[in-house]
Amino acid sequence: MMTRRDAIKTVALTAGALAAAPHFVYGAAADSSASSSAYPFKLPELGYSYDALEPYIDAQTMQIHHDKHNGAYVENLNKALAQAPESVQKLTLEELLLGLDKLPENIRTAVRNNGGGQYNHSFFWKILKKNEGGQPSGDLAKAIDQSFGGYPAFQAKFSEAAMKVFGSGWAWLVTDGKKLAITSTPNQDTSIAKPNDKETPIVGIDVWEHAYYLKYQNRRADYVKAFWNVINWDYAAEQYAAASKS
Ligand code: MN
């Protein structure tokens, strides 16, 4: 139970954070609530401590990445939507991203970049968890074996996709509800928006330099190698199961 003193502290912190920097307000958990939430958007919770992924991803990178980079996407997405008609403000994040071509032209690029950033990062925080060398199991493991000829072959193909992203972007393991595929998107484009259309992310790696430069500098290959130790396979399996049902 929350004591009265805790409650006062929470209120004071929240009020202060609201006034000073909207992106320090912690919203509900990411995943489904991120795609179904609407304006004004909130920074998704990290859900674990900044150092939870050490030594593979360092605490300082996680703090700056979550608070500042994701924070800026949220702030800029809200800024863009503040000038949009109410009918657009009511759209969920997923509706905004699936209907980019229908948005007013003056906010389209801002929503694509910052809404995409909010969507991708909400997913990314959930897909990260130290796994102590763990691998997928159950239906997802079977599907990976069938699609790629085993886990090592899958790792090689996914790593190659991550290395091949030129500049900033993401590599993905996605499903269209039937089969698995490895894809990539530039900048903050999502796997659900056109032209990929409705490909649900199962695993995703952020290969923007801000995701690894403090620890790995220019060595993206080392970061991609380390990534295998911080994939939350339980969450990946949940995503796969949900997408396979629908
Ligand atoms: Mn990022």
- The confidence score (pLDDT) of residue 224 equals 98
CATH at residue 201: 3.55.40.20
Q: Are 207 and 101 in contact (CB under 8 A)?
A: no
- 142, part of any domain: yes
- 175, part of any domain: yes
- Which portions of the chain are predicted below pLDDT 70? 1-33, 194-197, 246
- The confidence score (pLDDT) of residue 185 equals 96
Model confidence pLDDT, tens digit, residues 185-218: 999 999 998 665 679 999 999 999 999 999 999 9
- The confidence score (pLDDT) of residue 35 equals 83
- The confidence score (pLDDT) of residue 30 equals 35
* 153: β partners: none
Q: Distance between CA 233 and CA 16 in Å, rounded?
A: 37
Distance (Å) from CA 22 to ligand 1 centroid:
19
Distance (Å) from CA 76 to ligand 1 centroid:
15
- 213, part of any domain: yes
Distance (Å) from CA 3 to ligand 1 centroid:
37
Distance (Å) from CA 210 to ligand 1 centroid:
6
Distance (Å) from CA 43 to ligand 1 centroid:
13
What's the DSSP call for residue 231?
A: B
Distance (Å) from CA 9 to ligand 1 centroid:
31
Distance (Å) from CA 208 to ligand 1 centroid:
6
180-186 β-sheet, strand order: 180-186, 169-175, 200-206
Distance (Å) from CA 6 to ligand 1 centroid:
33
What's the DSSP call for residue 45?
A: P
Distance (Å) from CA 242 to ligand 1 centroid:
25
**Full-model pTM:** 0.86
Tell me the residue range of the domain where 238 lies.
Answer: 138-245
- The confidence score (pLDDT) of residue 34 equals 79
- 32, part of any domain: no
Give the type of residue at 217: Q
Distance (Å) from CA 185 to ligand 1 centroid:
13
Using alpha carbons, select from 137, 148, 124 the residue that is nearest to residue 45: 124
Model confidence pLDDT, tens digit, residues 50-71: 999 999 999 999 999 999 999 9
- The confidence score (pLDDT) of residue 144 equals 98
- 217, part of any domain: yes
- 204, part of any domain: yes
Q: Residue 184, Cβ neighbours under 10 Å: how many?
A: 20
- 198, part of any domain: yes
| Domain count for the chain | 1
Please state, in angstroms and as integers, the Cα–Cα distance from residue 180 to each residue in 142, 157, 158, following that order.
11, 12, 12
- The confidence score (pLDDT) of residue 54 equals 98
Q: Distance between CA 168 and CA 166 in Å, rounded?
A: 6
- 152, part of any domain: yes
